[in-house]
Structure 1
């Protein structure tokens, strides 16, 4: 099926398979959503409208539904096959979902209509990152939240990931560059809204095997090149009701 974006970078067969695996669901998606949930400084929005930007095959829906209890859950992706699989996944989970075929750089979503925008491991696939971030800002309500979870260039630009997956390498960024980009767009966040997970699967060289066998001690934050960054960033508010 033809992608719904001229800049879409098609995933490898392995990558497409991996995105529906137990490892992806349990060790990547679930962990990221739990971590993002813990980065909120304020009460969660009550019965929010959630947009999953780059929903892929819909494996996030069950975790977003359980964690945030949305009144509306919208999945958006530029790959028609992924949207079909998202629809089937939502049906299996018994979750009401609205699906949109769209490029993140041109969201088919009204202004100020979303309480939470979830962007997990999507941004490093996007060629037009500045435009996408501007669109995220546009569709969020004042006081709405961007939940941003990304792998950084230090991880994406390794031989294993280059071999197994496909990404636009010229747009990859460090954790600091992603945070600067989000802040420059106008989002607000503090240090307590940011985390740098150092999970086994994200280790840039050996997937943490040397540390797991006690052959090397893990480096603390500030002494390593971060491979993951999670942030809960807020669009400046005019007040939103909370539970």
Structure 2
């Protein structure tokens, strides 16, 4: 496969299957989109230009339409096969989606052309994370929003995830490190714009099985290492940095 990035990390067969599964769509994507929608401090832009960075097989398109009603929806991915599947998904949903083959670290989009940038479970696949975040900042309009939802190193670096999926392990980060990186790039957000979902599938090591069986109790926030972090971060208006 001729990927559109020199740093692309090829997914496993299981991983590609999982991205088509109901678990992914119902328990991962749907919950993330709904959670991000609730993290805005004010109403999102009306009729936005929305970029899905790392759109994969396009399973997010219908959810993004429902949550944000974009006037224009763009999907970007570095895997040509995923783009083909995204086109098929858009057709099934009756949606007009612009699909671009591109590395997130070198987006083929104009400066200040995007209102909302959705990056869901993509960033931990990227080797050039700093460059990608700089590109996200560049293409967002002043006042535009980054919708960032990620699994952290505490989850990615577990034996079951390393066995079933493939990731660049040397770039994985904690929730605090991801938030620091986003703030250092120049994005603005407060605690109100951040959440740390503690979902069954994100429980490190056993997917929450021991908690479900009553063998142990879930650790409360502040006493556990977070495995998920969601944030809605805004690019400042010009002259406010």
- 1:107-166 CA distance string (max 9 Å, x none): 001000000000000000000000000000000000000000000000000000000000
- Secondary structure in 2 matching 1:146: strand
Q: Measure the CA separation in 2 of the matches of 1:34 and 1:229.
A: 14
TM-score, normalised by the number of residues in structure 2: 0.98
- Secondary structure in 2 matching 1:63: helix
- Secondary structure in 1 matching 2:127: coil
Equivalent residues, number: 239
Correspondences of 1:82-231 after superposition (within 5 Å): 82-231=82-231
Deviation for aligned residue 1:88: 0.1
Q: Measure the CA separation in 2 of the matches of 1:214 and 1:42.
A: 40
Q: Measure the CA separation in 2 of the matches of 1:186 and 1:52.
A: 20
Q: Measure the CA separation in 2 of the matches of 1:222 and 1:79.
A: 38
Q: Measure the CA separation in 1 of the matches of 2:215 and 2:237.
A: 48
- 1:36-61 CA distance string (max 9 Å, x none): 00000011101000000000000000
Gaps of 5+ in 1: 239-243
Greater than 3 Å deviation, 4+ residue runs: none
Deviation for aligned residue 1:103: 0.1
Deviation for aligned residue 1:237: 2.1
**Does residue 62 of structure 2 align to residue 70 of structure 1?**
no
The CA RMSD measured in Å over matched residues stands at: 0.9
